[in-house]
Structure 1
Amino acid sequence: MSITIKDIAQVAGVSYSTVSKALNDSPLVKPETKSKIIGIAQELGYEPNYAAQQLVRKQSRVIGLIWPTIERIAPATLLTRINEEISKNAYSMVLSINSIKESLEMFKRFNVDGIIVFDERNQEEFESISFPVVTYGVAKKKAIPVVDVNYQQAMEKAVNYLYELGHREIAYVGDFSLGDERQKEKYYGFKKAMTRLRLPVSRENLINTNGLDWYDGYLATKRLISSSISPTAVIGGSYDISAGVVRALREANRVIPKDVSVISYDNVPQMANLEVPLTSVGVPVEDMAFHIVKTLMAHMHKDDTVPYVNILTPEITERNSCAHAQNIHRKLQS
């Protein structure tokens, strides 16, 4: 038989309302009384009826998150940090990798208090729902609040960083063939920075991976190695792509950064654990998670001071994968 508030009240010799307040950490209950009640609840094995609490509070204390894939390292890391931030705010997270429509139906059944979405497409489906929603992506034509990590600026910083190290022949290995706004912004940022610095931009140094997995980066880099150009530096479009870049270079007996410098998008701690610790650019993953959750919480509590568009500033994290161009010893070509 399950233990109820009534059972706890009888043992503690207090009213039902006092037990309820104590279990909800109300300041109206004296600390010693609260401690006594919590101790009795634990001894009796009391388990809160969350469904009943939800009806009373009209809150589920649950956040829904929609993301189409969790297979890659950087997204999985960000999900973990978001879950930690949500927990700090005394909420729980429910993750869905289904379509937006299916996810919304599930979240309605859970009666979630808010939703974070990472799918750039079909956002018009959110216009008719009653849940507060925040998206992580590109701040263009969004019908819902957005946290943007400024992908173009990240790529510009990467190019500038290499330029200051003396590099003039720079290649970009990334996915710019799909309808993914985040990837296209990186591509545009690279081209903008190269053009501004009057560096060459052509089909030879824009290497399309046609995918976001490490093997896509690996195959693209092998094509680069066998091409007619010899860049002294390579920018990878993501953690996973850059892992493939590193593998292909090492298989070709290229030493990083002695033979070629490499910098990657995605500012995640795992960059330090690759075969070669990579210098990276982007918003630190813990900062991204903090701002995404903070923005959602503010909209849930109808805080009008929070901006509809929150654009974060990327930064460079230096490790061991970049050197001055004058120290490059060998050509990238086979």
Structure 2
Amino acid sequence: MTITIKDIATAVGVSYSTVSKALNDSPLVKQETKAKIIKIAKDLGYEPNFAAQRLVKKESKLIGLAWPTLDRMAHSVLATKINEEFTKNGYSMILSINSIQTSLDIFKRYQADGVIIFDEESTKTVHALTTIPIVSYGVGKGKDFPIVDVNYQKAMYAAVEYLAKLGHEKIAFIGDFSPIDDRQIEKYRGFQNAMQHFELSFSGDNLINTAGLSWYDGYIAAKRLLQSAFIPTAIIGTSYDISAGIVRAIREANFIIPKDISVVSYDNIPQMGNMEIPLTSVGVPVDVMAKQIVQTILRAIQNRQDVPLIQTLDPQLTERNSCAHVRNI
């Protein structure tokens, strides 16, 4: 049997409109009455008719998050933080790991108020969904819809500067050099520019391509580096997962972190502090990133013209236990 607002009104002894206002947390209903109505509704097993609410309010309080590659730690943490932010703001989130186009079709069927797209390769398909506000996370260059960006080059500069101040000159960079991933390209360029600025040498010896973004990709790339003639005093990894692989390879090669080799990683998530070696990391703190993304899509829902095309967040460096001054040999 489906419980309706009229059933609750009868049980409490108030009007239908009073129940409706109470369930919508209206200030027009006394707190004592509101609490009683909510308790009776819960006891009776009342479930709101969200479809009807959408018709009345013309909003679903639902946001779609499309992210086809949710297989890395930083992505998972960010998605969780985004969901927490939506909950604080009275919204629910649907996460889709389907293709972008399939995800957009799903969100349209659910009448989502807005969509967040995390797409590292191509965002052309977003133009297929023009009636719903869209915000993306990534590199803002060449996009014609709102992007929450990160100054990746500044992040790599901060990492190199930090290591240079510790006396490191032989710094290796391990990351994915894929030409179709704008985020990785920006990190690569940032490292090169920083090395030039601090007059530190770089070549094929200390630029190591993982050709992927997994833990294993970082592990294999680091093993290849440590078996070469060039043994760095410091390594910069371009993500949590890649750096986890780097740490394992360093330990297997019987080097000590940070006594023999210092490590700095991109991605600023709390999990960095829980690794087998707590890693010094650089990037926008994940809670800051999540809040900015959520506030941007909520602003876009209210007024698309009120949202800037590109918002670039500055990274922060968090010191932990993976870096030390260079030993004088």
Give the TM-score taking structure 2 as reference length. 0.97
Q: Kindly indicate whether the alpha-carbon contact (under 8 Å) linking 1:258 and 1:328 is maintained by their aligned counterparts in 2.
A: no
Q: Kindly indicate whether the alpha-carbon contact (under 8 Å) linking 2:146 and 2:307 is maintained by their aligned counterparts in 1.
A: no
Greater Cα shift, 13-22 or 207-216: 13-22
Q: CA deviation at 1:68?
A: 1.4
**1:77 and 2:97 equivalent?**
no
SS in 2 for 1:168: coil
Q: Distance in 2 between matches of 1:184 and 1:176?
A: 6
SS in 1 for 2:281: strand
Q: Kindly indicate whether the alpha-carbon contact (under 8 Å) linking 1:232 and 1:328 is maintained by their aligned counterparts in 2.
A: no
Q: Which deviations, in whole Å up to 9, do the C-alpha atoms of 1:225-263 show, x marking residues without a partner?
A: 111212111000100000000000000100000001100
SS in 1 for 2:174: strand
Partner of 1:67: 67
Partner of 1:6: 6
**1:140 and 2:141 equivalent?**
yes
Q: Distance in 2 between matches of 1:71 and 1:120?
A: 13
Q: Distance in 1 between matches of 2:328 and 2:14?
A: 77
Q: CA deviation at 1:224?
A: 0.6
Q: Which deviations, in whole Å up to 9, do the C-alpha atoms of 1:252-298 show, x marking residues without a partner?
A: 10000000110000011111111111100000111100101011111
Q: CA deviation at 1:301?
A: 1.0
Partner of 1:20: 20
Matches within 5 A, 1:239-250: 239-250=240-251
Greater Cα shift, 156-165 or 46-55: 46-55
User: Unpaired segments of 5 or more residues in structure 2?
Assistant: none
Q: CA deviation at 1:305?
A: 4.6
Q: 1:174 to 1:121 in 2, by over 3 A?
A: closer
Q: Distance in 1 between matches of 2:8 and 2:59?
A: 24
SS in 2 for 1:283: strand
Partner of 2:153: 152
Q: Distance in 2 between matches of 1:303 and 1:138?
A: 20
Q: Distance in 2 between matches of 1:58 and 1:150?
A: 37
| Partner AA of 2:207 in structure 1 | L
Q: Kindly indicate whether the alpha-carbon contact (under 8 Å) linking 2:144 and 2:309 is maintained by their aligned counterparts in 1.
A: no
Matches within 5 A, 1:211-250: 211-250=212-251
| Partner AA of 2:289 in structure 1 | M
Q: Distance in 2 between matches of 1:277 and 1:178?
A: 31
**1:96 and 2:109 equivalent?**
no
Q: Distance in 1 between matches of 2:307 and 2:107?
A: 24
Q: Percent identity?
A: 61
Q: Kindly indicate whether the alpha-carbon contact (under 8 Å) linking 2:101 and 2:126 is maintained by their aligned counterparts in 1.
A: no
Q: Distance in 2 between matches of 1:46 and 1:16?
A: 14
Q: Kindly indicate whether the alpha-carbon contact (under 8 Å) linking 2:135 and 2:145 is maintained by their aligned counterparts in 1.
A: yes
CA RMSD between the two structures:
1.3
Greater Cα shift, 302-311 or 110-119: 302-311
| Partner AA of 1:182 in structure 2 | R
Q: Kindly indicate whether the alpha-carbon contact (under 8 Å) linking 1:260 and 1:328 is maintained by their aligned counterparts in 2.
A: no
Q: Kindly indicate whether the alpha-carbon contact (under 8 Å) linking 2:133 and 2:304 is maintained by their aligned counterparts in 1.
A: no
| Partner AA of 2:319 in structure 1 | E
Q: 1:122 to 1:205 in 2, by over 3 A?
A: closer
User: Unpaired segments of 5 or more residues in structure 1?
Assistant: 330-334
Q: CA deviation at 1:32?
A: 1.9
SS in 2 for 1:199: coil
Q: CA deviation at 1:306?
A: 4.0
Matches within 5 A, 1:1-334: 1-128=1-128, 129-302=130-303, 304-325=305-326, 327=327
| Partner AA of 2:183 in structure 1 | R
Q: Distance in 2 between matches of 1:21 and 1:9?
A: 11
Q: CA deviation at 1:11?
A: 1.7
Q: CA deviation at 1:173?
A: 0.5
| Partner AA of 2:38 in structure 1 | I
Q: CA deviation at 1:178?
A: 4.4
Q: Which deviations, in whole Å up to 9, do the C-alpha atoms of 1:16-59 show, x marking residues without a partner?
A: 11110110001111222212211221222211111111111111
